[in-house]
Chain A
Amino acid sequence: MTAATGEPVLWNEAELAEFRRMTLVWGITVLLLLPILALLGYFMRLYQSGAFSGMRAEWFYAVLTLHSLGMVGTWFVGSMAGVSYLLLKYARPSLGVSKFAYIGTLLGVLLLIACTLGGLFGTGWYFLYPLPLFAQGVWAPWATFTFFLALTILGVCWTVWTLDMLRAIAQRYSLGAALGLNYLAGKSGPELPPLILITTVSLIVSLSGFVAAVIVIALFAARALGVNVDPLLMKNLTFFFGHDLVNITMYLGIAMVYELLPAYAGRPWKTNRVVALAWGAVLFLVLFAFFHHLYMDFAQPTWIQKFGQICSYLLAVPAGVVSIFGTLALVYASRMKWTLASTFFFLGILGWGIGGIAAVIDSTVEVNFHFHNTLWVPAHFHTYYLMGVVLIILGFIDHTGKELSGLEEKPSLSKLTTALLLIGGYGFLFMFYWGGVHSVPRRYAIYPREVMQGTFYARVAVGFITLLLVGILLYLWETGRRCLKALT
């Protein structure tokens, strides 16, 4: 293996084998978390359809919190683990740090399960200040403490992981080179793999998000000690953190597609001036687009609201014109090898695009006035995730499992799995979009008279989720087998 600098990347076979094992462990963990968290989502839509009318609504909100945080965390670590593995070709990330992050993630997940399913902590994933401190007798102080302890542990280990990957890149590429500045200056070399460019951009953004999270947790602690904290400041910091975390999860997934899809298409995908410019634009725009989460906070200055819309809109340019077009140009009339993995990469980019269209629409202030906190919101981010980065990460796990196990896929089963995921997935999503269009609020355990159409939409969604779950189970059976064989 050689780096772009021409120097050899020194991995001996034992080190590589250990890294492969760790990647498989991450992959299998993601595959174990997926059905559990998906079933929690299934429970939520079932509850909204009226299936569990005898069960207290507190359970819905606790499950909502676990499902949402669990999914955000699972796909973040899935993206990080995937990119970390692909980075081995170009840099030396630390195996020890990956293990540290793994243990921290497991501990954080256990604590989250304890405070939500054990303590009925039910603030939703963004724990909007000061809601965690206003339990109304539903969750006890220990649950609030455990929640913040979980976030702290996850934050610390993921920040260390992020810093280590940046360190690994920095040891092979200067910051300017890693951000593609050579290309912007008109030079064509040294060659910078797109993986390095996108990962560098993403990790800088995620680091800033983690800093915001630290401030949020510290200010919660200050409030618990009796210090007055500005709720608008907290909301800005919380959404800056959350927006960054989910976006870089997707960008790291995109990085995996840039790295892996070329081999399937039989064509290269290289960094050039336009790609470098695009990701430089992303680095700037994504740091400010989060303002679109606060449009309905009229106390926020109007110029900031409009700036948020402008940044959110302009983010569609690098995404659409460079990454999505690049995918299409790579695949168009190519000798494309259509496997489960490559199909998932291709469809994942489409899903990211569709979610992006819904997001840009909702990032219009005038439209957001009618869509904010309706089902349109989970519609668009579930599209980004379920039909976007989740497909990409599942594709990566399958690709890696196949590579390391040598077990081939059965094309007919792959087609059936893909069809079930698409029909079940987009059907489930459509009911969210339709609900948003018809003013149904998000995060309602029970739909009151004014929005009782939400109950019917939930029932239809349950049907589609059933198909989706069958597809997920088929995928888990095949890909899980390959990963376990590779591990043993």
Chain B
Amino acid sequence: MIQMHAFYVFLGVAGLLTAVFLYVALSTRNARDINIQSAYSLRKRLFFIVLAVLLLGMGMTLGKTPYPKGNELPDKVVFVVGKQFSFALSDAPITNDQEYEASTFGAPVQVPAGSLIEFRVTSFDVNHSFSVYSPDDHLLAQTQAMPGYVNRLRVRFDQPGRHYVLCLELCGMGHHRMRGVFDVK
């Protein structure tokens, strides 16, 4: 799970930094003059190490963004509207409040497992966040639902089951109870 990998990286680097700070703090028990040129030389090496790590990180991740790629077509499109305080999902475009109400209270949309699904997400009022949770409650994917814009979120679902959608962008008093639902078959 990517969240846990990121957490291990964080713990590792933060732990290393903390250890260095502790080492430096303890070093003041044996005060002595330091060679400033050695310090500058160490800083130069640190610069190259930090830059190399960051460039490596960029190289590994910049190509893996969740944005739609022009050279692939989705297998299925699901239309999503966020509105205070529910998400409506539908196989057909949702263009007005009546269609929004019907889609909110209708049967959950079904998407085939393994297929590339494109959610076309917008909002009828304020910013929301269309955030998809797996059946075992991990945050799988998200995009903002912004009035006047359609964000296209493409996801492939491997795990069948009911997927809930929560709103992760503060949108008013009902923010924490705003949800949507769809099924992966």
> Hey, which bits of chain A sit against chain B, CB under 8 A?
56-58, 61, 122-124, 128-131, 134-136, 138, 230-232, 235, 274, 296-299, 302, 305-306, 309-310, 313-314, 316-317, 320-322, 324-325, 328-329, 331-336, 338, 346-347, 350, 353-354, 357-358, 360-361, 364-367, 369-374, 433, 436-439, 441-448, 450-451
A298-B67, A331-B24 provided; 18 other pairs, C-beta below 8 A?
A: A61-B170, A122-B172, A130-B125, A131-B126, A138-B172, A232-B148, A235-B127, A274-B40, A297-B149, A338-B28, A350-B17, A353-B14, A360-B54, A364-B6, A366-B66, A373-B168, A438-B3, A446-B176
Give every chain A residue within 8 A of B27 (Cβ-Cβ).
331-333
A-B contact pairs, 28 of them (CB 8 A): A130-B147, A235-B127, A274-B43, A296-B143, A297-B144, A297-B151, A298-B66, A298-B143, A298-B151, A299-B150, A313-B54, A313-B57, A316-B50, A321-B46, A325-B43, A328-B21, A329-B34, A332-B34, A338-B28, A350-B18, A357-B10, A361-B6, A366-B2, A372-B168, A373-B129, A448-B177, A448-B179, A450-B137
Q: Is the pair B84, A331 in contact by a Cβ cutoff of 8 Å?
A: no
- CB of B152, distance to nearest CB on chain A (Å): 6
Give the residues in chain B near A122, CB-CB below 8 Å.
Answer: 172-173
Nearest chain A CB to B41 CB, angstrom units: 11
Tell me the smallest distance from the CB of A227 to a CB of chain B, in Å.
14
Chain B interface residue count, Cβ-Cβ cutoff 8 angstroms: 75
Asked if A370 meets B2 with Cβ closer than 8 Å, knowing A329-B34, A332-B24, the reply is yes
Residues A124 and B170 in contact, CB atoms below 8 Å apart: yes
- CB-CB under 8 A from B102, the residues of chain A are none
**Top 9 A-B pairs, shortest CB-CB distance:** A373-B168, A439-B139, A298-B151, A336-B28, A444-B176, A335-B31, A299-B149, A366-B64, A131-B126
Q: Mark B21-38, 1 if CB is under 8 A from A, else 0.
A: 100110110111010000
Report the minimum CB–CB distance from B7 to chain A (whole Å).
5
Give B159 Cβ to nearest chain A Cβ, in Å.
14
Query: Are B147 and A448 touching (Cβ within 8 A)?
Result: no
The distance from the CB of B126 to the nearest CB of chain A, in whole angstroms, is 5
Please determine whether A231 and B174 come into contact, CB atoms closer than 8 angstroms: no
- Contact partner of A372 (CB less than 8 A), chosen from B4, B10, B62, B142, is B142
In the bound complex, CA of A252 to CA of B39 (Å): 25
Assess the B21–A358 pair: CB atoms within 8 A: no
Q: By the criterion CB–CB under 8 Å, are A450 and B133 in contact?
A: yes
Q: Type the 1/0 row for B42-54, where 1 means its CB is closer than 8 Å to any CB of A.
A: 1100110011001
**Secondary structure of the B contact surface, majority rule:** mixed
Does B149 lie within 8 Å of A302, measured CB to CB?
no
Question: Does B20 count as interface, using CB distance less than 8 angstroms?
Answer: yes
A437: chain B residues at CB < 8 Å are 3-4, 6-7
A347 to B21, CA, bound (A): 8
- A433-B43 in contact (CB<8A): no
User: What separation, in Å, do the CA atoms of A444 and B175 have in the docked complex?
Assistant: 7
Q: Which residues of B contact A372 (CB under 8 A)?
A: 129, 142, 168
Residues in A neighbouring B137, C-beta threshold 8 A? 439, 450-451
Asked if residues A334 and B28 are in contact (CB atoms below 8 Å), the reply is: yes
CB < 8 Å neighbour of B131 from A129, A313, A364, A441 = A441
Structural contact, A365 and B21, CB atoms closer than 8 A: no
B96 within 8 A of A: no
Q: How far is the CB of A263 from chain B (nearest CB, A)?
A: 15
**Per a CB cutoff under 8 Å, which of A232, A299, A320 touches B50?**
A320
State the CA gap A14–B183 with chains docked (Å): 74
Contacts A134-B84, A331-B24, A338-B28; A361 near B173 (Cβ below 8 A): no
Is A131 a contact of B3 with CB atoms below 8 Å?
A: no
Cβ 8 A contact of B148, one of A128, A231, A296, A373: A231
Contacts of A442 in B (CB 8 A): 168
- Asked if A346 meets B176 with Cβ closer than 8 Å, knowing A131-B127, A231-B148, A369-B66, the reply is no
A310 in complex: contacting residue of B21, B31, B58, B140, CB < 8 Å: B58
Residues in A with CB closer than 8 Å to B46 are 320-321, 325
Q: Chain B residues near A302: list those with CB within 8 A.
A: 65, 67
Instruction: Specify which chain A residues have a CB less than 8 angstroms from the CB of B150 in the assembled complex.
Output: 299
Report B-chain residues with C-beta under 8 Å of the C-beta of A333.
Answer: 27-28, 30-32, 34
Q: Determine whether the beta carbon of A309 is less than 8 Å from that of B177.
A: no
In the complex, whether B171 has a CB less than 8 A from a CB of chain A is: yes
Given A128-B169, A357-B17, A358-B10, A231 and B4 contact (CB-CB distance below 8 Å)? no
Q: A436's contact among B3, B32, B173, by CB below 8 Å, is which? A: B3
